[in-house]
Copies of this chain bind each other. A is one copy, B any other.
C-alpha cells in the first residue's frame, strides 16, 4: 500500500523506510563509469529483476532521461527516488505497483533498494528490501569484502549498506522547543535526525527522519533494533509533550486558527500547508479539534508538494505564485 495512503492510528510514526546500497562487482562505482559501463550494469540488474518477477513482482521501470523534470520531482515528493536522482539523467528507477518497493539504479551506488511503508514497520520493510536484495544477488555478483561487508561509493554506507529510517511527526516537541535536545541525544547514540527529504532538508510540518548514521560493524538486526528502541523513546517524549500542551488556550487558539487558514487561504506555499496540516494532526490527536477534514493530512502534504500540484493542474507550466493559488484551492476542497 502506498505509504501516505495508509490509515494508521499512529500519528507519530508516519512511515518507515529501509534502504540497501549495493554495487555490481564487475563495474566501477557510478561516478567513474563510462556510458558502456552504465548501460551494461543497468541491463544486468534489469535482467535480474525480470528473472525474479515471481519474487519482486511487476516493477514499473522509468529512465530519468525519458522523464521530464516535473515527473521526476513527483517521484521524489512521493519518496520513491532521492533528490540526487532527480538531477541524474543516466539513472533509472523500478517501482512496484503499491510503491512499497523502489529500486534506484545508478544513484550514488549501482543499486539502491528501498522499501517504504506507512506507519512503524521496520521489520516488514527490512524483509521486503531483503527479499529484493536476495533476488538480485542470485543473478549479479555484488561488490563485497569479507572484512568490510558490502562495498559502497561512500564509505559511510559500507558494511550492511543499510540505512533504516522512520519518519516521525513531532509537532509537540517542536512547539515546546525540546526537539533540539532530542536531536542531540539521538546523535550521541549514533542516529541522525533529518528533515523531510533527507540530508540538508528542513523539517517542515514537524516531520523528522530518524535513521542510523553508520552501518559498519553492526548487523542489520542490530541497526533495526537500535532504531526501533530510540524511535519508541522519542515517541514517548512526543506523547508527554502533547499531554503537557493539550489544555493550553494559546495552543488551542493556534491550532484552530491553522484550520481556519487551511479552509480560507487563497494562496499557500507548500511549507505553510505542511505546517498547517501538522497543526491539524496535532489538534485532532490531543482532542482540541473535533472537526474532521475530508482527506488524510499526510496524503495532502504529499499531494500539495510543488510537482504534485503541477501534475494535478494538468502539467501546466505554473509559476510559483500560480502554484500557491492552485494549492490553496486543492487544500480548501480537501479540508
**Could you tell me how many residues of chain A have their Cβ less than 8 Å away from some Cβ of chain B?**
17
Residues of B within 8 A of A263 (CB): 260, 264
Does B267 lie within 8 Å of A261, measured CB to CB?
Answer: no
Q: Closest B-chain residue to A291, C-beta based?
A: B264
Give 1 or 0 for each of A244-269: 1 = CB within 8 Å of chain B CB: 00000110110011011101111100
- Check if A328 is an interface residue, CB within 8 A of chain B: yes
- Check if A325 is an interface residue, CB within 8 A of chain B: yes
- Check if A293 is an interface residue, CB within 8 A of chain B: no
Q: Closest B-chain residue to A251, C-beta based?
A: B266
Q: Chain A: interface secondary structure?
A: helix
Does A260 lie within 8 Å of B267, measured CB to CB?
Answer: no
- Check if A321 is an interface residue, CB within 8 A of chain B: yes
Q: In the bound complex, how far is the Cα of B260 from the Cα of A328, in angstroms?
A: 13
Q: In the bound complex, how far is the Cα of B144 from the Cα of A68, in angstroms?
A: 87
Q: Which residues on A are within 8 Å of B, measured CB to CB?
A: 249-250, 252-253, 256-257, 259-261, 263-267, 321, 325, 328
Which 6 A-B residue pairings sit nearest by Cβ, starting from the closest?
A260-B264, A260-B260, A253-B266, A253-B267, A256-B264, A252-B266
